[in-house]
Amino acid sequence: MTILKPMRWMTLILTKIDDLIQDCFDLPEGELEPLFEKAYRASRERFSNKMAFYAPGMVHYETEFHEATDLYRFPSISVTGKGCSLNCEHCNANLLDPMIPATTPEALWKEFNEIKNRGGSGCLISGGATPKGDTPLMEFIPTIKRAKDELGIDIVVHTGIVYPETAKALGEAGIDGAMLDIIGSDETLRQIYHLDASVEIFDDSMSYLEDYGVPYMPHIIAGLHYGELIGEANAIKMIAKHEPNSVVVVAFMPLDRTPMQDITPASPMDIARVILATRLAIPEKPLILGCARPLGEHRRITDKLAIDAGVNGIAYPSDEGYEYAEEKGFTLSFADQCCSLIERVL
């Protein structure tokens, strides 16, 4: 009997994962059913029959099964106001518009207290990027730590690219989660994000967060490259080498007043391919369909496909998505929090 050395064994495992991921992207739609069945089964076996739904404070959300209309239940706060140095093609700083501006530590502390006084459970700290691709968090981290220590609210952070000093400070502050987009294509990084860098910076970012014990939830953006699937498979492969707390799949959605406002987004099936590959490559981690994705019929179809592909949670579910999960026999929960905190209910 041949005994494989550990490095050889790991190489074989990674090769198998890579092949599985590629199948999810390359096989014709009609041949994907066995992979859907495998992904759905793996998710149910690992996470039982729980399905978590989320409606945090950025969006007014009212349906027949849940109402979340108070901005301060879990608001998004921008430490740069409406400013961003990168002005990415898909966003052009528009995603900062609905956020509460808090551009000084004093203003941020005031918002933390407002959240606490109004019965909110926490918030997302976000903001525009610096020319290096990170959110300028350092001057705010002492205030974040104070809020964790004195107010006990949940705080998750959009980090952008992570550098060692930021990871260290976030670890010491005791944040509840760091969220960052993982881009798998150098071309996408240059053309969409306006960053002249290699995607290895995202590999490094995850390593720094792990080094300093920061819980983190990487995001994969389906169709970010002008609606096409370009680097998503590589992004999944990068994440699969690490130990995130959960993984979130979102999708490019055209926004007015951006260079990509007329671009057709990835189809629901293409988004499902990304979810499918992520579930099969990373079966042991919670998988969420996040808040950013096209609306209308597109969302209704995507939600149902996501459930079939093995997600454990959905942010702002459509009526059809909610009802489909109910029909499938899931035990449903709803929280007015960021979906990145899904580990608390699974």
pLDDT digit string (tens) for 73-97?
999 999 999 999 999 999 999 899 9
Task: List the one residue out of 17, 90, 35, 5 whose CA is nearest residue 262.
Answer: 90
Residue range 129-141: mean pLDDT, rounded: 98
Rounded CA-CA distance 330/78 in Å is: 35
In percent, how much of the chain has pLDDT > 70? 95
The yes-or-no verdict on residue 12 having pLDDT over 50 is: no
Residue 312's nearest CA partner among 229, 215, 217, 206 is 217
3-state DSSP assignment of residue 297: helix
Q: What is the mean pLDDT of residues 288-313?
A: 97
Helix (H) or strand (E) holding 105: helix 105-117
Integer-rounded Cα radius of gyration of the chain: 19
pLDDT average, residue stretch 268-287: 98
**DSSP class of residue 73?**
G
Domain extents for the chain?
Answer: 32-344
In this prediction, residue 9 carries a pLDDT of: 42
Q: How confident is the model at residue 290 (pLDDT cuts 50, 70, 90)?
A: very high
pLDDT averaged over every residue in the chain: 94
In this prediction, residue 6 has a pLDDT band, given cuts at 50, 70 and 90, of low
Check residue 8 and give its pLDDT: 47
3-state secondary structure of 71: helix
Contact by Cβ (8 Å): 178, 206: no
Query: Other C-beta atoms within 10 Å of 127: how many?
Result: 27
- CATH architecture of the domain 32-344 equals Alpha-Beta Barrel (3.20)
